Amino acid sequence: MVDEIKEIFAAQSEYDYEIVLVDDHSPDKVYSVAKNMAKEDSRIKVIYLAKNVGQTNAVIEGYKYAKGDYIVEMDDDYQMPGYEIPRMVKELEQGNYDVIFAKYPEQKESLFRRIGSKINNRTSAWTVGKPKDIRVNSFFIMRRFVKDAVVQYSNNYPYIYGIIFAITQNIANIEVEHREKERKI
């Protein structure tokens, strides 16, 4: 994933970038790999959490270190195509939206995960005012002011999408490929 992002941005000169990697106290020792990447490239920042705090809290910790005008959230399982980031940036720069979520025409997840996503989307529409036609997932881009508001949330058990929908209604989807999950080493 990191190599893909570096290649994408090396092929253009319009944008600078940084990569913030968060190790949520992973048992697979990925921290040493990430730390070595950061030594070789000053655009990579690595945050190591002393204990597992859950994905949402780990993501918010990463947001705290992100300095860009636009922040892209994505998982490290390679299902989210990094090559779509420039297209997402251009869509955001058109000025109509504050957040753009990827939308997968074909979601390559287990039946259990797909059902869970549908339940989450319906519950979000009912509880936090998410428009019914918007699909949320962990591959999205947002403007800095949205990220800044998310990191101000100080209660336990944050729901990032709920915070986003409380901040702005200028939200869209963009269709992107959903790749097969790559196994971690």
C-alpha separations of 75 from 2, 48, 156, 177 in Å: 11, 16, 22, 14
Axis crossing angle, helix 55-65 with helix 160-167, rounded to the nearest 10 = 50
Evaluate whether 102 touches 173 at the Cβ level (below 8 Å).
yes
By C-alpha distance, which of 92, 73, 91 is closest to 1?
Answer: 73
pTM of the model: 0.86
Q: For each of the domains in the chain, give its residue range(s) and CATH number, in order of start.
A: 2-175 (3.90.550.10)
By C-alpha distance, which of 8, 26, 160 is closest to 87?
Answer: 8
Quick: pLDDT tens for 5-41: 999 999 988 899 999 999 998 888 889 999 999 999 9
Quick: pLDDT tens for 48-75: 999 998 889 999 999 999 999 999 999 8
